[in-house]
């Protein structure tokens, strides 16, 4: 795979964040926070009648993008911040940009800026990743 600084990572789209998935994830994680399943709580907090996506679900969109691009098991380092919330029914796109390529111990690594975007400039998740590139 030919990769160099400045290359864009192919985006991964979640057409509509699912409130049902959030409810299921809350049960799996034993997450008692009602913002993931109770619309009235979110409305009282100023988010309208839309529930808030769990951080791990948003993070999974970023991981899906990297795995589709460079293959399962490619992630060597991942750092994310969550400056905004993602709400049910949001359309999101996981996107990334290669900032550098290097070789360590015979492994080609791509350093990347990655983010989740609802619309241009609206980035509820922002981070960086180091990915092992396929030979």
Is 63 inside any structural domain?
yes
pLDDT 10s per residue in the chain (135 long)? Answer: 999 999 999 999 999 999 998 889 888 989 889 999 899 999 999 999 999 999 889 999 999 999 999 999 999 999 999 999 999 999 999 999 999 999 999 999 999 999 999 988 899 999 999 999 998
Is 3 inside any structural domain?
no
Supply the CATH number for residue 42's domain.
3.10.129.10
Tokens linked to 4: 């160099």
Is 38 inside any structural domain?
yes
Tokens linked to 119: 């619309």
Cβ contacts of 13 within 8 Å, gap of 6 or more? 91, 92, 93, 94
For 85, the domain range is 8-132
* Single pTM value for the model: 0.91
Domains held by the chain: number: 1
Is 106 inside any structural domain?
yes
Q: Is the dihedral of CA 73, 75, 80, 85 positive or negative?
A: negative
Q: Rounded to the nearest 5°, which phi and psi values hold at 20?
A: -65, -40
Measured at the alpha carbon of residue 72, what is the angle toward residues 101 and 116, in degrees to the nearest 5? 70
What is the distance in angstroms between the CA of the first residue and the CA of the last residue of the chain?
6
Is 1 inside any structural domain?
no
Is 22 inside any structural domain?
yes
Q: Rounded to the nearest 5°, which phi and psi values hold at 48?
A: 75, -170
Is 69 inside any structural domain?
yes
């Amino acid at each position: 795979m030919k990769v160099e600084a400045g290359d864009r990572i192919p985006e991964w789209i979640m057409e509509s964040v699912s409130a049902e998935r959030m409810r299921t994830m809350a049960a799996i994680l034993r997450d008692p926070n009602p913002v993931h399943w109770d619309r009235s709580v979110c409305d009282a907090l100023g988010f309208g009648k839309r529930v808030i996506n769990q951080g791990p679900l948003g993070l999974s969109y970023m991981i899906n993008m990297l795995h589709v691009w460079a293959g399962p098991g490619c992630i060597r380092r991942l750092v994310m911040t969550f400056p905004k919330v993602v709400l049910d029914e949001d359309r999101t796109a996981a996107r990334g940009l290669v900032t550098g390529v290097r070789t360590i111990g015979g492994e080609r690594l791509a350093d990347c800026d990655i983010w989740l975007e609802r619309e241009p400039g609206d980035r509820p998740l922002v981070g960086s990743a180091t990915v092992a590139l396929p030979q």
